[in-house]
Structure formats: C-alpha cells, structure tokens
Structure 1
Amino acid sequence: MNILEFSLSKRSNSYYEVYPGAERPDYDFTLERHAATSTNFLESASHIVKGCLGAGIMSIHEGYMNGGLWASLGTTAVIGLVVPYVMYMLVISAQKLYVRLRIPRLTYPDLGEVAVATGPWPSLRRFSKAFRYSIDICLFIELFGTCCVYQIMMAQTLKQVLESVSAGAKNWNMPIRIYILIVLVPVFFLCMIRSLKFLAPFSLFADMLIGICVITSMYYSISRAVDVYDRPAYKSFPGLMNFVGVLLYSIDGVGIVLPVENNMQQPKNFKYVLCFGWTIIMFSVTLTGFFGYLGWGEECKSPITTHMPLETFTIILQFLICTVLTVTFAVSFYVPFRIVWRYIGRRYKRYRGSWESFYRGLLTIAVTILAVAYPNMIRIMIFLGNFFLAFIAFIFPAFIESLVFWNERRRGMIRYNFSF
C-alpha cells in the first residue's frame, strides 16, 4: 500500500488487519519477519564490528599524526560517543515506524522515505521520494568508495609482503594497479554470497584477526615509543579536520546498522549488540591510533603493518590482514549492491538469482576500475569522511528522528531507555 495513503487513512488505532480473517491490536514486527537466515547475537555483533572496522583502523595512526596526539585522542572520545548514539537513534526511529505502519523491516532509504511521507508537515510529504534518492546516492557513493579503499589497501599489503619474501617479485617491482587486479579474484567470489547469515562465519574469523593485528601493532609501537611529551599535542585545525575524516571513516557504521537489525533474530536487543560491538571498536581504534603515532611519529604510513619488521609471524599476519579486508569488502559491498538491485532487480522475474549474481560481479569490477584509476587511499578516506559521511552519519538520522518523534512528549536521550 502506498505509504502516504496509509498515513492519511481514517482507520482506528485500536484495530489492524494483520492477515485476512485475523486481527491483532498490538503489532510485533519480530513475529512478522520470516527470514530463514537470521543472525544471532554474536553474529550480529561481529557484523557491527566488521562493518565499522576495516581499512580505517590500519590508517588511524596517520590520522593522529595529522591532528596531534592529545587533540586527536580527545576528538576520538567525543565522536566515539556521538556515532553510536546516532546509530541507535536510527534503529529506534525504524522500530517506531514498524509498529506505526505495520511493516516488519525498513532499509535506511526506506526509513527516510516513510519518515517524510508520514511526517508531521504535510507540505514536505511530496518530497519523500527525493529524500530517499538523496540517501541512496550518498550511501552508494560512500560505501562504493569505501570498497575501493579496501581493495587498494589489500593490494598495498600484498605488494609489500610478496616483495619481502620473493626476490623475483621485488625485481619485477610491479605497480600497485597490478596488485589491485590480482586481489579482484578472491573479492569477486566472496561478493557472490548474497546473505549476511552466510558471511557471519567469515566476519567472526576476521574480527579475531583484527584483534591479533591490534595487539601486534601495539607491541611493535610500544617497543619504540617515546615520551608522550615528545609528540605534539595539537598541530593545526586543517590537520585535525583531516583526522576527523579518517576517524569517521574508521568507525562509522550507520549505513550497515539497519541491514544488521533487519537480519537479527531478536531485533529488540539491538542496543546490547551495539554496546558490545562498540566497546571492541573504540578500544581497537584508540589503542592503535594512540600508540601507533607514539611509536612511529612523523614516519607514519598506511597501513600500519608496513612498520612491522619482516619476520615470519608478521609476514603471515599481513597475509591474514588481506583476508580481513576481503571479508570487510564483502560486508560493506552488501549495502550499495542492495541499493542498485532495488532499481534494476524488478526487471527480472525469471532467473532472478542468476541476474543478481551477474550484477554483483559487474559492480565488483566497477569498484576495481575506480581503485585502479585512483590508487591514492588516504585522500579518498578524507574526502569520504568529511563529505558524504557527514550527511549519512549525522544530518539524515537527526532529520529522520525529528520527523518520527515530533509529536512525542518526551524528547532527548531518555526516550531511548539506555538502561542495560
């Protein structure tokens, strides 16, 4: 049913037809989800961690170098409190509309559209489609570019490792673009997985590898760390803004919270999943950035693994990091592809699964082409972090929350019941 017509209907709030011949006054969207591949608590938390952490954590020490040690640490604390609040705000707004509209799930663009179409201001309702398209465009560009960064970082790590263990590879000195084409092979096949449920084991394995990488990076960073007073506390405002861009790119997961929530077995427990996952995210990012800059100073380069000595353990670890980034690529790829598939998938009624696989492969190749054309990773991260993420992570969720809860008496954080 058209959302706007539904919102203007005159039916009583105490009566809803759930199925033909059945009535229920209280709508439970959890019971209405009939997904055979829903995720449990641990799988959902692993997707949150994997969707937020990835290539960014490998470059966060370079962000600290741009902003200064203590200024960057304080900024990390502030943004680390704001971002999960915005993520939870988005989920609570969606769950409010599930009950209000009697629908079991909404994506981020769906949520934006219905929030405007059923909002308190009738004059804005005709712009619901335009708002949806704006979210679609920003989400697609941001996550499409994020996948490019992951592929570039995989290629850089692979190049360093191969040239360190093979004299032939070192003599060939192949450009980074060749390695980007090489990593296309595993990425291509992993992106053929169409369900987050089947990606969950890969995410759990990748999260464990990230933990090993963080501990190893801290070990080598602390081993050559200097006194904290030897690092500048603050450098410049432009440098701090560059750090904010890298930090947002490193920890933002607003684009993937609703896909994760939509696939949960118990979506009402999302706040516990977010609390658990976000604790891991903030510890990992803060420790890697702080001690990475403390140890390597103005010599910081991305990824942080390039600073590690070429020993057997670190060489194996860097190969495993390529695996982590491949999984992160597949999780992040889920959202931009669903955006594209929503518009083109309706054309294909027969052999729908085959066509979906075809377009998945086509979009993966498009990501590779962009990565080959623009292999400068840190500039892409700063651009995405400062521009598109500002809309996706802060502006759009705040606007949606205002529309959904405009007529609520209690405003502010207390409404969300942050009691764990």
Structure 2
Amino acid sequence: MFVYEFMAGIVDQIKGEDAADSFDPHVHRKVEKPTSYSDTMIHLLKGSIGAGVLAMSDAVSRVGILLGIIGVALIGSFATYCIQLLIAAQYELCKRHRRGYIQYPESMLLALQDGPPCLRFSAKAYYYFVETTLVLWQIGICTIYCVFVSENIKQVCDYYGQEISLRWHICFLLIPLTAMGLVKDLKLLTPFSSISNVVTLFGFILVFFYLIEDDVTLDQNKLKLKGYIEIPVFVGTTLFALEAVGVVLALEYNMEKPKQFVGLFGLFNIGMVIIMSLYVLMGVFGYLKYGDEVKASLTLNLPHDQKKAQAAKLIFALAILLTFPLQNFVAYNILWQKIKKVIGENNRAILADYALRIALVILPWSLAVAVPKLGPFIALFGALCLSLLAIVFPGLMDACVWYPNKYGMCRYRLVRDIFIVVIGIACLVSGCYTSLLEIMAAGNH
C-alpha cells in the first residue's frame, strides 16, 4: 500500500501547481471524519466487488472467452477513464468557483451554465436528472443485493428442508438491513467493509475450488460469440459489475488526501486493475466450468448438497449484506442535503435523519419483495444508469467545462467528448432494449 501512496505522490509532484490559479479545492474541503488511503481502498474494492463479479460468468458466456476478456479490459478502462474525466472536471469547476467541493448534480449544472448557449437552458433539468439517476442507481443496486442474498440463503435452507418462498427470505432481511442503515458515516462503515472483504476472500477461495477441481476442456464453441444481440447485455452486466459511480465520488470526497485518488498511479486506477483482473478470472473460469448452464449468479451453480458450496453461498450472502449500507450511503447523502436545507438543524432534523435512513432501506427492500428477479435486471440497471452516470454525463460535462477555447490542439477534447457521449448513448439504448426483451421473455415462462 505504501508503494502505491509513494507513486501517487511522485506523480503529484511532477504535475505541480498551476501558477495562474493557486486555489486548491482539496485544501478547502471540509470533511469531519476523512478516510485514510487504506480505508478508501477497502471501500473501493468492496463497493465494486459485489453481486456483479458473480454475474461475470454469465456475461462471458454470451460473447465467448476471447471477446469477454477483451471486452472487460476495454469497458473497464473506458469507464475508468470517463470517471477520471468527471473528477477532473469537478476539480476545475471547484477552482473556478473557489469552493472545496461541488457534488455531481451541481457540477453538471455549473458546467452547462458555462457551456455552449444551446445547452444552457437545460442546466437545471440536467441537475435534477443527474440526482434522480444517482438515487435510482443506488436503490437499484440495493434491490438486487436483497434478491441476491435471499436467493443464496434460500438454496441452503431448501436443502435442509426449510422450504419457504423467496419473498419470505427477503422479508427476513428487513431488520438487519435497517440496523446497518442507521450507521452514520463512512468512517464507521469501515469495519463492515473490512469484515465483508475478509469473508469475500474466503468465498472466492471456495468458489475457485469448484471451478478448478475438475479438468476443464476449452472447445471452440466457448471462444465464439453467440450472437450480436448478446453484446449489449454483456456491456450492461460488465458496467453494473465494474462501476459504482456514486460510491467512487463519495470515496474521493471523503479521502484524507484526495490527490492520491486520481492519476496514473492513483488509488482509483490501482483498484480498478485489481477489480478487472478478478472479473476476468471469475468470468472465464466460471464459463469453462459450467458452460451454457451458467446462471445469473455463479453461486447458484454450486452444488446444493456439499458443505463447502453451502458455505460459499452463505459467505457471499453475508458479504453482500454487509455492503448494503455503503451503497445506500450515496442516495442518503443526496436526499439528506436537500432535507436539511428545508428543516435546518434542530430536533426535527434528528427525527428526519433516521426516518430517511429507514425509508432508504424499506424502498429497495419493497421492490425486491415485489419483483424478486436477478439476472436481466443486473444488465438493465447497468445499461440504464451507468451508461448515463459513468459515460454520457462525464463526456457532456467535460465538453462544457472547456468551452469555448480550451479544447486543445485540433479541438481534441471536444472530439473525444463527443465520441464518449455517442458510445454512452449506444450502450444505453441497445442495453436497455435487449435487457427488457429478456425480462419480458422470462415473464412469459
């Protein structure tokens, strides 16, 4: 860990200060309980290594092993680059407005107000659009987590004769989820993430035991693309697995030394390399083991009657359960800032705080009870929300921040941003279309 911190520091020194504007937003950022480098790395890994990693085998099965490996590397690198652009654009806006930090929705508002005249009228609409998408995304993740935990627990309980419906298993989660949802800040969530990381490591060891215990055969069919219509679902699933935009921005904001978060050897890039490597391994070996029979979550393919498989399912269920409050923190933070402005600091604020935390547990829990489906919804949420949050919005914001005459040689920044927005819209439309087709097909069976 020290090596990564040291390299990040070297890059920061080489970069130097801008003499024209010495205002450093990081110095003026007020965080009550900032997280250390190691705390932030733990949160990043846990925020991005969740139910999505266990869906990668299903994603790889759709496009074949070769395209799966290349696809994860390309999508992961592209999405990471877009988030780096987003953080850089937010930093530039903070310098212009001489503020310590500007949240994602307001950053979009200010960027559009400074951007081309044809876009300025939509600045306020985009502000609410970004906020709504962020909240929907985090609620969607929490909904999927509820279903994931319950499905794995149900398989174990069913084997031992305790057969009840999946919805009842989801109902039993309400009390522990509510208790964890009342935790106040990210610093206090570190123990949850630490425990979750430890049990996740044991879970991966157990899963890999099953993936490599038998000789696997690499036939030509597993290398080939099944069909072009499968590509958007693969992209949506991979985006869902890789990017937790709201968590990433919250971690960058709460980090004790935020300059160490970005850059070539920054914490974010280091973490994403680790995450992508794990996704490739899990996706490829899972597909080699189970072939076309692989399910939406790899744990659901494990044997029902073996103790190690049952332990792996329960371990991952516990790990995802402990990640729930971290994912819920982003939606809470957005909504609480608005509520606090209305009611101020008083006794009512304390009651409203707890009411909001409880509501943000009950809402995704209720959606999970109403629609307890896992597979197609992972790709749908990835295509719908992350195509916007991680690709389209960063490209649009960056294009507006550097308007009108700071696009660089041959206006390369503008060309790059247009390309990013077009790619993001293509992922959005194609991913949502194919995911909705799968959801409708599943509903007809």
Measured against the shorter chain, the TM-score band is: 0.7 to 0.9
Q: Is the 8 A contact 1:244 1:386 kept in 2?
A: yes
Q: CA deviation at 1:131?
A: 0.9
Q: CA deviation at 1:345?
A: 3.3
In the TM superposition, what are the counterparts of 1:154-169 in structure 2 within 5 Å?
Answer: 154-164=149-159, 166-167=160-161, 169=162
Out of 248, 264, 275, which is 2:255 matched to? 264
Could you say which residue in structure 1 is the equivalent of 2:401? 404
| 1:206 and 2:196 are equivalent in the alignment | yes
Q: CA deviation at 1:175?
A: 0.7
Q: Is the 8 A contact 2:186 2:326 kept in 1?
A: yes
State the distance in 2 between where 1:39 and 1:405 align: 31
| 1:219 and 2:209 are equivalent in the alignment | yes
Could you say which residue in structure 1 is the equivalent of 2:103? 107
The aligned amino acid for 2:225 is Y
The aligned amino acid for 1:161 is V
In the TM superposition, what are the counterparts of 1:222-233 in structure 2 within 5 Å?
Answer: 222-230=212-220, 231-233=222-224
Could you say which residue in structure 2 is the equivalent of 1:361? 358
Bigger Cα displacement from structure 2, 85-94 vs 307-316: 307-316
The aligned amino acid for 1:405 is W
Could you say which residue in structure 2 is the equivalent of 1:182? 172
SS in 2 for 1:387: helix
Q: Is the 8 A contact 2:57 2:286 kept in 1?
A: yes
Q: CA deviation at 1:123?
A: 4.8
| 1:288 and 2:286 are equivalent in the alignment | no
State the distance in 2 between where 1:302 and 1:157 align: 12
The aligned amino acid for 1:152 is V
State the distance in 2 between where 1:273 and 1:208 align: 20
Cα–Cα, structure 1 residues 70 and 37, in superposed 2: closer, same or farther, change >3 Å?
same
Q: CA deviation at 1:333?
A: 1.0
Q: Is the 8 A contact 1:193 1:199 kept in 2?
A: yes
Could you say which residue in structure 2 is the equivalent of 1:251? 242
State the distance in 2 between where 1:179 and 1:341 align: 30
Out of 315, 318, 327, which is 1:320 matched to? 315
Could you say which residue in structure 1 is the equivalent of 2:123? 128
Q: CA deviation at 1:225?
A: 4.9
Q: CA deviation at 1:300?
A: 0.8
Q: CA deviation at 1:177?
A: 0.4
The aligned amino acid for 1:389 is L
State the distance in 1 between where 2:215 and 2:402 align: 49
Q: Is the 8 A contact 2:203 2:315 kept in 1?
A: no
State the distance in 1 between where 2:116 and 2:65 align: 46
SS in 2 for 1:37: coil
Q: Which blocks of at least 5 consecutive residues in structure 2 are unaligned?
A: 1-17, 417-445
Q: CA deviation at 1:68?
A: 2.2
Q: CA deviation at 1:140?
A: 1.7
Q: CA deviation at 1:120?
A: 3.6
State the distance in 2 between where 1:346 and 1:162 align: 46
Question: Could you list the per-position Cα deviations for residues 279-318 of structure 1 after superposition, in whole angstroms to 9, with x for gaps in the alignment?
Answer: 2211111111110011011111232123334444443333
State the distance in 2 between where 1:40 and 1:112 align: 28
Could you say which residue in structure 2 is the equivalent of 1:195? 185
State the distance in 1 between where 2:167 and 2:337 align: 31
Q: CA deviation at 1:75?
A: 1.1
Q: CA deviation at 1:365?
A: 0.8
Q: TM-score, normalised by structure 1?
A: 0.86
Q: Is the 8 A contact 2:143 2:365 kept in 1?
A: yes
Q: CA deviation at 1:206?
A: 1.7
SS in 2 for 1:87: helix
Could you say which residue in structure 1 is the equivalent of 2:374? 377
State the distance in 2 between where 1:297 and 1:313 align: 21
Bigger Cα displacement from structure 2, 251-260 vs 204-213: 204-213
Question: Could you list the per-position Cα deviations for residues 319-369 of structure 1 after superposition, in whole angstroms to 9, with x for gaps in the alignment?
Answer: 221221122221111112222223333332322233111111012111111
- The alignment covers a number of residue pairs equal to 387
Q: Which blocks of at least 5 consecutive residues in structure 1 are unaligned?
A: 1-12, 16-24, 416-420
Q: CA deviation at 1:255?
A: 2.5
Q: Is the 8 A contact 1:218 1:287 kept in 2?
A: no
State the distance in 1 between where 2:206 and 2:375 align: 23
| 1:275 and 2:269 are equivalent in the alignment | yes
| 1:88 and 2:84 are equivalent in the alignment | yes
Bigger Cα displacement from structure 2, 319-328 vs 37-46: 319-328
Out of 269, 277, 302, which is 2:296 matched to? 302
SS in 2 for 1:82: helix
| Aligned sequence identity (%) | 26
State the distance in 2 between where 1:54 and 1:239 align: 23
Could you say which residue in structure 2 is the equivalent of 1:340? 335
State the distance in 2 between where 1:295 and 1:217 align: 11
The aligned amino acid for 1:107 is Q
State the distance in 1 between where 2:205 and 2:85 align: 32
